[in-house]
């Protein structure tokens, strides 16, 4: 309605500029109409810029966080501003957390460890990877895993020498000398044996037929009680963002149970689509408060592990350690899942106020956030 009213006002302005057609010379009328049209165009451009400037910034934040916008641009009619996703102020918080993650290497490495299963699934066409130190774990073709013959190459491996090279060893002295020379120069014609091997790697722009990642899902139990306010809250939200980023890049399911007092548990499935991102941005805007009851999120996690899609998931409990001992029956169920399903429960202690004692009854491995002092010295919160 506002747009229609504004359009009517513009039409009226143009009509006024045109007049009756008899009172002013044509040149004056044309000049007046040109000035009016220029003012209207400038007003339209200002309105357009005001509407799209925050959208542009939010699109850039999403692109940087997820390295692509597939799944986020679909509304009822394609790219849709009416759903409010791209005008949500939570994108500002997300971008601040993304930049914070660049300094929190240990959080990124912790998330990479989560999820059981191999990184070598069915062959698919995907972006190629090459071995690089100090990069995320990936799958690269390497002679360390000689599981298949890919062709011929030059090397110094006598065990892979082709028959034509081996035949030279049975010839005169000069042919045997030729083989020795090629061996020393590593130019023997040999079979190329290699396979897919998990190691740190960098993703390339080109594609290749390669194994898909099949690391298991991630279930996060996140303490959002009052004791987690401030700098701890920043670390917790940064961890959730990193889980979302890696789950998206590796096509792995990820689910978050954000818990505080008894019965107060929020469920959040981390996906890079419009509906899920609305919930994610709302989570980033929320403030942590309330008591702490760790039993309910752990019970819900165990029930989720019984579903086929989540049966090989790892669990991550994120807290400051200020939690009550869990129910004895719950501890027994966790221990049974650890034995029967191979479940690993990782614990991340954020801050220095809590105790490891309760965490040790729940977790198979406890990680202490070593960069805590650094985060605490910086702004205690991003908000």
Q: What is the pLDDT of residues 25-36, one digit of tens each?
A: 567 777 888 888
**Closest Cα partner for 240 from 252, 257, 226?**
257
Q: What is the pLDDT of residues 325-364, one digit of tens each?
A: 899 999 999 999 998 888 889 888 887 656 678 888 999 8
Note the pTM of the prediction, 2 decimals: 0.58
Mean pLDDT of the chain: 77
CA angle at residue 236 from 235 to 237, to 5 degrees? Answer: 95
What percentage of the chain has pLDDT greater than the value 90? 17
Q: Is a pLDDT exceeding 70 seen at residue 234?
A: yes
Please tell me the predicted confidence (pLDDT) of residue 15. Answer: 52
- Is there a contact between 168 and 250 (Cβ–Cβ < 8 Å)? no
Q: Are strands 148-155 and 188-211 parallel, antiparallel or unpaired?
A: antiparallel
Q: How many residues does the chain have?
A: 383
Return the exposure string of 282-307: e unless at least 16 CB atoms fall within 10 Å of the residue's CB, then b: ebbeeebeeebbbbbbbbbbbebbee
Q: How confident is the model at residue 373 (pLDDT cuts 50, 70, 90)?
A: low
- Is there a contact between 346 and 317 (Cβ–Cβ < 8 Å)? yes
CA gap 334, 343 in Å, rounded = 8
* 115 torsion bin: left (phi>0), alpha (psi -120 to 50), beta (else): left
DSSP calls for 259-273: E-STT-EEEEE--SS
Please tell me the predicted confidence (pLDDT) of residue 383. Answer: 39
CA gap 344, 363 in Å, rounded = 7
Please tell me the predicted confidence (pLDDT) of residue 16. Answer: 54
């Amino acid at each position: 309605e506002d747009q229609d009213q504004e359009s009517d006002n513009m039409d009226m302005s143009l009509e006024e500029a045109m007049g009756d057609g008899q009172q002013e010379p044509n040149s004056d009328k044309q000049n007046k109409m040109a000035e009016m049209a220029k003012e209207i165009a400038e007003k339209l451009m200002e309105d357009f810029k005001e509407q799209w400037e925050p959208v542009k910034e939010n699109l850039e934040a999403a692109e940087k966080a997820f390295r692509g916008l597939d799944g986020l641009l679909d509304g009822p009619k394609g790219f849709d501003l009416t759903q409010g996703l791209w005008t949500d102020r939570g994108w500002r918080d997300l971008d601040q957390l993304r930049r914070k993650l660049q300094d929190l290497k240990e959080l990124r490495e912790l998330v990479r460890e989560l999820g059981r299963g191999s990184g070598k699934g069915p062959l698919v066409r995907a972006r190629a990877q090459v071995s690089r130190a100090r990069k995320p774990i990936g799958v690269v073709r390497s002679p360390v895993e000689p599981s298949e013959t890919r062709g011929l190459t030059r090397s110094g491996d006598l065990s892979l020498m082709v028959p034509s090279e081996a035949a030279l060893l049975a010839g005169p002295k000069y042919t045997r000398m030729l083989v020795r020379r090629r061996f020393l120069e590593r130019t023997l014609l040999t079979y190329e044996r290699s396979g897919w091997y998990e190691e740190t790697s960098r993703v390339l722009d080109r594609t290749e037929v390669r194994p898909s990642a099949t690391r298991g899902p991630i279930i996060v139990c996140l303490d959002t009680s009052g004791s987690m306010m401030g700098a701890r809250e920043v670390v917790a939200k940064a961890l959730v963002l990193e889980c979302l980023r890696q789950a998206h890049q590796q096509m792995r399911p990820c689910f978050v149970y954000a818990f505080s007092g008894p019965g107060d548990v929020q469920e959040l499935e981390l996906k890079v689509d419009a509906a899920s991102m609305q919930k994610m941005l709302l989570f980033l805007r929320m403030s942590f408060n309330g008591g702490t009851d760790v039993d309910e999120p752990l019970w819900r996690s165990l029930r989720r592990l019984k579903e086929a899609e989540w049966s090989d998931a790892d669990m991550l409990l994120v807290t400051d350690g200020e939690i009550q001992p869990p129910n004895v029956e719950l501890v027994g169920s966790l221990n049974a899942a650890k034995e029967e399903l191979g479940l690993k429960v990782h614990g991340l202690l954020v801050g220095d106020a809590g105790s490891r004692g309760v965490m040790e009854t729940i977790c198979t491995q406890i990680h202490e956030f070593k960069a805590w002092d650094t985060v605490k010295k910086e702004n205690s919160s991003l908000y």
